[in-house]
Amino acid sequence: MHSRRALLYMPGDDWKKITKSITLGVDSICMDMEDGVAITHKSEARAAIAKALRELDFGKSEKLARINPVGSGFEKEDIEAVLPFHPDGIVIPKLEEPKQIQWASEIIEAAELRYGWPVHSIRILVIVETAKGILNLKEIASHPRLDAIIFGGEDYAASVGATRTKDAVELLYAREAVIAACAAFGLQAIDIVAIDFKDLEALRKESEFGAQLGFTGKQIIHPAQVEPVQAAFTPSDEAIAHAKRIVETFEASQKEGKGAYALDGRMIDMPLLKNAQKVLERAKAAGKAERGL
Ligand code: COA
Ligand code: MG
């Protein structure tokens, strides 16, 4: 699965921002046809995204296109405009029911077969951002073409009538519900956007807290947000070294016939081993493990 620590949006009708995005070394680039684009500009966005997929070299960045919600009336033209140019994935916003994923999955599979591409080579990421979406997480998370669930904080707050605050306590239940659903089905969990893009200190804190909760990445809207978010979702050298020590000492203790043991004055047993293995997996996904840290 592609590493998606930072997932950057830009309006699909903004060619300048699309060409800027491919210079940033960002994990995922999501060209938008939904809320970042005015109703009167949907066709310009479709055409510009198709052109970008056809003509630009995205390097290592993943190429994603966000369609309008299934049921909005825009979604069919959106997906049909971009599929012939093989995006790496389609992002479906305001996702509430598994049948909306199935709708996209069938259209994608037909395109894969028509163009002779491997089936499932185009992935689906969904944004859950309504009360109904949160209630249906279990059914949503089990779809086989799904890679990730993205949590949309602003739309969710609007959906339940919450007032947004700086520390986002009003979103905690829904964020943790998304993380649990993703963990249960082996999906990536991608956290809220920090819309105050000039406040990088607040971004750093919010990103670190999201990573602590268990998110694997975060949505962003501005180039200045790339570095702090990538840093927060990459395990630190100390965390990697500690995880390696746990894995090594755990093995030795198992050989001695002990399930639990002490390391630096703290108890280590199976759940801590599993957590250490997760840290090493994330380090590897971020390209950090081979350097022998
Ligand atoms: N992707 C790529 N490039 C971006 C960018 C983005 N999301 N946001 C800003 N840039 C570029 C600008 O074009 C500018 O480029 P330049 O230096 O080559 O001229 C540079 O980064 C600095 O931008 P800045 O002037 O600080 O921001 P702005 O006032 O132009 O734009 C926003 C502010 C919020 C309108 C803009 O960041 C944006 O459109 N973000 C994405 C919005 C979106 O997609 N929303 C829907 C999903 S939540
Ligand atoms: Mg939204």
pLDDT category at 286 given cuts 50, 70, 90 is confident
Residues 191, 182: contact at Cβ < 8 Å? no
Q: Which ligand is nearest to the CA of 197?
A: 1
Q: Which residues contact residue 157 at a Cβ distance below 8 angstroms, ignoring those fewer than 6 apart?
A: 163, 164, 170, 171
Is pLDDT at 108 greater than 60 in this prediction?
yes
Question: Model confidence over 21-35: pLDDT tens digits?
Answer: 999 999 999 999 999
pLDDT reported for residue 289: 63
- The residue-averaged pLDDT of 23-52 equals 98
- Which atom of ligand 1 is nearest the CA belonging to 8? 7
pLDDT reported for residue 200: 98
Which fold is adopted by the domain 5-232? TIM Barrel (3.20.20)
**Euclidean distance between CA atoms 130 and 160, whole angstroms:** 7
pLDDT reported for residue 288: 81
**CA 253 from centre of chain:** 37
The residue whose CA has the least distance to atom 33 of ligand 1 is: 222
In the chain, DSSP finds a helix count (H) and a strand count (E) of: 12, 10
The residue whose CA has the least distance to atom 12 of ligand 1 is: 17
Is pLDDT at 293 greater than 90 in this prediction?
no
Q: What share of the chain in percent tops pLDDT 90?
A: 95
pLDDT reported for residue 290: 54
Query: Is the Cβ atom of 36 under 6 angstroms away from ligand 1?
Result: yes
- Tell how far the Cα of 14 is from the centroid of ligand 1, in angstroms: 9
- Which atom of ligand 1 is nearest the CA belonging to 9? 44
CATH 3.20.20.60 in the chain is located at 5-232
The pLDDT mean for the chain works out to 96
pLDDT reported for residue 82: 98
Q: 261-263 and 266-268: which strand pairing?
A: antiparallel
Is pLDDT at 291 greater than 60 in this prediction?
no
pTM of the prediction? 0.94
**Euclidean distance between CA atoms 97 and 95, whole angstroms:** 6
Is pLDDT at 228 greater than 70 in this prediction?
yes
134-161: b (≥16 Cβ within 10 Å) or e: bebbeebbebebbbbbbbbbebbbebee
